[in-house]
Structure 1
Amino acid sequence: MKAVVLKSPFTVEVQEVPIPEISDPSDVLVRVERTAICGTDLHPYEGRLELEADLILGHEFIGTVEAVGNAVTQLREGDRVVASCVVSCGACYQCRRHQPGNCAGSRIFGLGIALGDLPGGQAEYVVVPSADISARKIPAGMETQDEDMLFAGDIMTTGFESVARAMQPGDTVAVVGAGAVGLCAAMAAKALGAAQVVVIDRVKERLKEAERYGAIAVDASEDDPADAVLDLTDWRGADVVVDAVGHESALVSAIALTRAGGTLSIPGVYTEEELTLPFSDLYLKGIKVEMGVAHITEYMDQVIALIQAGTLKPSGIVSHRMGLSEAPEAYRMFEAREATKIVLDPRS
């Protein structure tokens, strides 16, 4: 089968590798029909997350079940499924407390031995472990919404959780970063009843997309984001601020935008061991902080239902559709910020 393989920083190749096989009774084998490049994939691609050589990348994918382990009860051959990017055991202390992202045995597709040694989904086939917990059957009649359902396994659900865990209807929500997760967070905030959603970025095309979702766009290259948010909130600051970037500068900006007693939500991925932050602002303003690996399987069902109802339409963020064979160029474009979201077709 064809698969996108990381060779070294800034170098991926499409190679022929063996089709994976089911090794555990809880596994299913999925023939991948759509897969996507995620911002998290840039951590290994740019060399910020050191991984072993020849790793198959990717953790966003949908497809059809080709084979089923004998312990799987919720899925059968021929089912079309979307899988959570994070696989958890479903039985440990953390999972029983509905925090699967904190599962001691959690694994993430395409991020190497340190994160569970799961080959990724940027390939023609992928094995999904703990399938009854990790995968969801795509509802019948949703064949024309594959690109919406594709994102229920990661960015749409990550964006949804980032605001669902922090906001109340009527809140003002500010989102720092109009990449894929930031746009999904803005979309989710509107769906969950935010009175105002403010999206901050420097890329005009992304800000235009945010406006299409009903957000107020602030171009940080032209306006001071703090002044803009204060003007919109009677000088209180936003009730909820989402750092959807995962960079120290964005986090510092997010702290400045948050009102006293507000909540800072951090779905952006940080790999740095140390950051320099205005901790006195966090303390004196009494800001609550929500962060960590997303609890995808806790929110997937809600997100799928809202996609089915037409309330969430994350496919709008897709800027490019390319064949899996074009992955090296797709990664170059994505890393260069020439694309908001790229979907790859393993059949081409």
Structure 2
Amino acid sequence: MSTMKAAVLRKPFELVLDEVPVPQITEPTDVLLKVEMTAICGTDLHPYEGRIEIEDDVILGHEFLGTVVEAGSAVGQFSPGDRAVASCVVNCGHCYWCRRNDPGRCIGSRIFGMGIALGGLEGGQCEYVVVPNADLSMRKLPEGGKGTDEDLLFVGDIMTTGYEAVRRVFTPGDTVAVVGAGPVGLCSAMSAVALGASQVVVVDKVAARLKEAEAIGAVPVNADETNPSDAVLDLTDWRGADVVIDAVGHESALLSAITLARSGGHLSIPGVYLEESMTLPFGELWLKGITVSGGVANIVNYMDEVTALIGVGKLDPSRMISHRMGLSEVTEAYRLFHDHEATKIVLDPTK
């Protein structure tokens, strides 16, 4: 049996590069993809740090693109040799929610590299990966246009996650406030600019992240130096933001986000929450009449829009990449990412 290199999580904080069997297609709707590029996502830190309990020896990673090696007999959109990017979430395509064009609520959703609890799919931080339900889960890489492979890599997760967080609640001309200038926060801000926000405010405490937010057209607010609520009120004639994005997934960020929203505004939460409960100012939410939306992103619904906007230069997610490393350096890459010494790391499985 042939083997491949893969990033295997033995247990929390113990990630190794190991030789494992090359996966095989088991369903007629599967595709076997040779991975050419993969990335480390903030969500990967949940199992890495032990905040999501998963079984030992799981291959991590859910952001990847590559070339089709083999396609199952029922796959109609892809053939060997096609280059494609995969959604981080695999939906069933036929449940109540999928039939109603709401795949983020799919009861059969599976996420690559997150263990049995989230579908048991091996991740893409490796040389080969099987993509189930490929006709729904993957998109061919376009030829031409302004987007590079590094831009298109993020269509499968963070760029589309950030885009959907804005798009689902947005009206052109809105003021959008983003709490958290990590990769998803920056993608949200970039999306708001591309979609026609009148102004975009990004709140964080890290100067380098705020500098990047300013470079993509947002107003940076350092929460250590300025009260974010005062800053947003000053920019909106004391109304508050029409749309607020919580791109962090932490109680402190959520509390801050609620204060930034205007009465009748929208709070959109792409940040991942694992807590069963937390204390919230529900009276303020009720009085303001804030609409709250969150949950697993509808990646497959928006991959085509995001790809098109990348192609015409409206979205440029590769600008966030701080490190390009070989898969052989994956242990050090996770250390850098965990210690906040990297914004976004892309891994090359051939190195």
TM bucket, shorter chain = over 0.9
- Aligned mate of 2:188, from 171, 185, 190: 185
- Aligned mate of 1:217, from 213, 217, 220: 220
1:78 is aligned to 2:65? no
Query: 1:93 Cα shift?
Result: 1.0
The aligned runs of 1:1-348 (5 Å cut-off) are 1-141=4-144, 145-348=148-351
> Does the residue aligned with 2:297 lie in a helix, a strand or coil?
coil
Query: 1:89 Cα shift?
Result: 1.1
TM-score using structure 2 length: 0.98
| Contact 2:146/2:313, CA 8 A, preserved across alignment | no
5+ residue gaps, structure 2: none
Letter in structure 1 aligned against 2:174? D
5+ residue gaps, structure 1: none
How big is each residue's C-alpha offset from its partner over 1:118-169, in whole Å with a ceiling of 9 and x where there is no partner?
A: 0000000000000000000001236970110000000000000000011111
Letter in structure 2 aligned against 1:221? D
Q: C-alpha distance in 2, partners of 1:166/1:8?
A: 39
Q: C-alpha distance in 2, partners of 1:295/1:127?
A: 21
How big is each residue's C-alpha offset from its partner over 1:2-33, in whole Å with a ceiling of 9 and x where there is no partner?
A: 00011111121010000000000000000001
Q: C-alpha distance in 2, partners of 1:132/1:326?
A: 32
Of all paired residues, the percent bearing the same amino acid is 68
Q: C-alpha distance in 2, partners of 1:258/1:42?
A: 29
Q: C-alpha distance in 1, partners of 2:338/2:260?
A: 27
Q: C-alpha distance in 2, partners of 1:205/1:96?
A: 43
Aligned residues: 348
> Does the residue aligned with 1:17 lie in a helix, a strand or coil?
strand
Q: C-alpha distance in 2, partners of 1:61/1:103?
A: 22
Q: C-alpha distance in 2, partners of 1:142/1:235?
A: 41
| Contact 2:68/2:82, CA 8 A, preserved across alignment | yes
Query: 1:96 Cα shift?
Result: 1.1
Q: Indicate the RMSD between aligned Cα atoms, in angstroms.
A: 0.9
Q: C-alpha distance in 2, partners of 1:20/1:212?
A: 42
Q: C-alpha distance in 2, partners of 1:174/1:81?
A: 33
Q: Relative to structure 1, is the Cα distance of residues 142 and 17 closer, same or farther in structure 2, using a 3 angstrom cutoff?
A: farther
Q: C-alpha distance in 2, partners of 1:121/1:308?
A: 24
Q: C-alpha distance in 1, partners of 2:340/2:14?
A: 17
> Does the residue aligned with 2:6 lie in a helix, a strand or coil?
strand
| Contact 2:181/2:202, CA 8 A, preserved across alignment | yes
Q: C-alpha distance in 2, partners of 1:333/1:276?
A: 32
| Contact 2:30/2:71, CA 8 A, preserved across alignment | yes
How big is each residue's C-alpha offset from its partner over 1:32-57, in whole Å with a ceiling of 9 and x where there is no partner?
A: 01000001001101110000000000
Q: C-alpha distance in 2, partners of 1:202/1:59?
A: 28
